[in-house]
Amino acid sequence: MTKLVKAKETMSAKERVLKTFNLEKTDRVTIGYEANLAVHIRVASELGIKDGDEEQTLRALGADYRGIAAPYTGPMLFKPLPGRKVDPVDGFYTRWIEHKTGGYWDFCDFPLQNADSEVIANYPVPNPDDFDYAALGGQLEAHKEFAAYIGNAGVPDIINSTGRIMGMEDTLCNLLAEDEAMLVFLNRRMGMRLAVMERSLDKYKGKIDFMWLGEDLGTQKSPMISLEMYRRTFKPIHKKFIDLAKAYNIPAIIHTCGSSSWAYEDFIEMGVAAVDTLQPEAANMSPEYLKQAFGGRLAFRGCISTAGPLAYGTAEETRAYCKKTLEIMMPGYGYHFAPTHAIQDNTPTENVIAMYQTAHDFGIYK
């Protein structure tokens, strides 16, 4: 069993997170954690935590924020399929795929693949009335020691969230063609997401600390879409969410996978406070490049690659890698120490422990 030696703290988690968004000095870097189930269970066990208890693990690692969400309580809108799970809000299907280090629920079936315009435009979208907003009160109370965020990396996530039900090829082709049925469906679904967020923020004014959004925009080498398409189709939708965050005086962070810094000037223009994921191996996404190009204008979350030393190196190599990243990202403040994605199942347990111990050892502001 391992016990992390935590950095001395002189701030609450909530204060630390908000100062990080504001590019202000904190006692230590803000810490985030995401991991796939199999590696999470191993990490929790190494920390002496039974049954992979998530809250205890987050506390042991020093994670500073917790997500909250109003659960959907309305009718099932989508047809059940044998051997599949169906998401009750977005209507995508997944099947369990095992691999040698664990397993995951993979997207399948794609109900809008090759569908006609009428089916696409009228695909079911939940009613914002059918969410339990009162449940947020209990979640906020349970996590009152920490910063609370609404949303996640999958909202609005136009490409991925549509690709899960339409298939990626159809999604990208319909976006390129500005297919009318596709745009009608997008606006219906994003309107629902926006309404759920607005009702949540209104009911719990002053208690939700930031908004988390997401939109994967890049491959490892280049943008996935053109800047022109981003500005024409994506930006107006993103702006509605960012404007909502502004209306409630909370910062917005947006998750972007792959080579996506090409969109950051537009993010800044809209009022995005921070960017997440930051895969350092992707084009124009290295810590050095991001700090030089956007330091002082954006806060950063991520940069600890889940495909580098964390997964394939030793604990010492992981420690050195994380220390170097901290040295680059900490000056000027505004750094959330976190993995680029959920830590993958092939990651050695000792490397995850080394990663977070490094944050506590070297992520201290003096």
Could you report the per-residue pLDDT of 10-68, keeping only the tens digit for each?
999 999 999 999 999 999 999 999 999 999 999 999 999 999 999 999 999 999 999 99
Distance CA 50, CA 48 (A): 6
Q: 248: closest CA among 192, 301, 204, 297?
A: 204
Report the pLDDT averaged over residues 136-157: 97
Say if residue 352's pLDDT is above 90: yes
What integer pLDDT is reported at residue 202 of this predicted model? 98
User: Residue 118: exposed, middle, or buried by beta-carbon count in 10 A (0-12, 13-18, 19+)?
Assistant: exposed
Say if residue 102's pLDDT is above 90: no
Report the pLDDT averaged over residues 248-257: 97
Backbone angles phi, psi at 125, to 5 degrees: -130, 130
Say if residue 212's pLDDT is above 90: yes
Question: Per the structure block, which two tokens stand in for 289?
Answer: 């490049």
What integer pLDDT is reported at residue 321 of this predicted model? 98
What integer pLDDT is reported at residue 101 of this predicted model? 86
- Classify residue 127 as left (phi > 0), alpha (psi -120 to 50) or beta: beta
What integer pLDDT is reported at residue 280 of this predicted model? 97
Q: 219: closest CA among 265, 168, 290?
A: 168
Per-residue pLDDT tens digits for 282-302? 999 999 999 999 999 999 999
**Which pLDDT band holds residue 214 (cuts at 50, 70, 90)?**
very high
Q: Which CATH architecture has domain 13-75+116-362?
A: Alpha-Beta Barrel (3.20)
What integer pLDDT is reported at residue 60 of this predicted model? 98
Q: Where are the domains of the chain?
A: 13-75+116-362
Report the mean per-residue pLDDT for the chain: 97
- Distances 49 to 31, 146, 334 between C-alpha atoms, Å: 19, 20, 31
**Which pLDDT band holds residue 314 (cuts at 50, 70, 90)?**
very high
CB contact set of 245 (below 8 Å; sequence gap of 6+) = 210, 211, 251, 252, 271
Angle (CA) 37 38 43, round 5° = 95
**Which pLDDT band holds residue 73 (cuts at 50, 70, 90)?**
very high
Say if residue 91's pLDDT is above 90: yes
What global pTM score does this model have? 0.97
